[in-house]
A = this chain, B = another copy of it.
């Protein structure tokens, strides 16, 4: 694996593209392709080779001029940069359709992540398990569970009206990273990383491109 450095102020767009490169490299690895040029990646996955070289340059390069990238090495390096080698425990608050969909979603239970519990206040749901086996616990146990299991990532999938309260409770008991699906502006605390997921933005992007073809 190539050595790399992580400079300050990497843009979110770059990090997102790293995730995308990771998916492409995984496909190549499955196909037993060992070396690929940036042009090859461009042709196969519509990745801009200029952008790719620029993105990788932030972390120190990795390609040898004219030699292309070693698929396996680049894969391992990106996994390391994104800190996906270490499995991180995830909990989800809100066991509605969204919460249950996320708990059972393969991506929330593979390379880097393991969703270990869902929390809800609904007595009908508490004590049950999701289709793929994640347990639904009472939200009263939230703090105790997080501390005991040393969970660092929390997902907010509750009604917007409860989102701020859940944010405060999560961050008060040690959660350091939050993925928020509630479409409201949350008052944030210093030292906690929060990313908002706004699914409508994807629909709006689609709307734009439907009108203005690429």
Contact = CB atoms under 8 A, between A and B. Distances in A.
Interface in A68-95: 81-84, 88, 90
Nearest to A201: B19
A205 B12 contact: yes
A-B complex: 10 closest residue pairs judged by Cβ atoms = A107-B200, A97-B101, A98-B101, A83-B211, A19-B201, A97-B97, A177-B210, A97-B100, A19-B204, A193-B209
Contacts of A145: none
A179 B204 CA distance: 11
A179 B203 contact: yes
Interface in A32-91: 81-84, 88, 90
Interface in A18-32: 18-20, 22-23, 27
Contacts of A20: 201
Given A176-B210, A177-B210, 19 more contacts: A8-B214, A13-B13, A82-B204, A90-B203, A97-B97, A97-B101, A102-B199, A106-B183, A107-B198, A107-B199, A107-B200, A108-B199, A108-B200, A112-B204, A178-B206, A193-B206, A193-B213, A195-B205, A197-B202
Interface string A93-118: 00011101110111110101100000
Interface residues of A, number: 62
A20 B207 CA distance: 15
Contacts of A84: 204, 207
A27 to B, nearest CB: 7
B207 A82 contact: yes
Interface of A: 6, 8-10, 12-13, 15-16, 18-20, 22-23, 27, 81-84, 88, 90, 96-98, 100-102, 104-108, 110, 112-113, 152-153, 176-179, 183, 185, 193, 195, 197-214
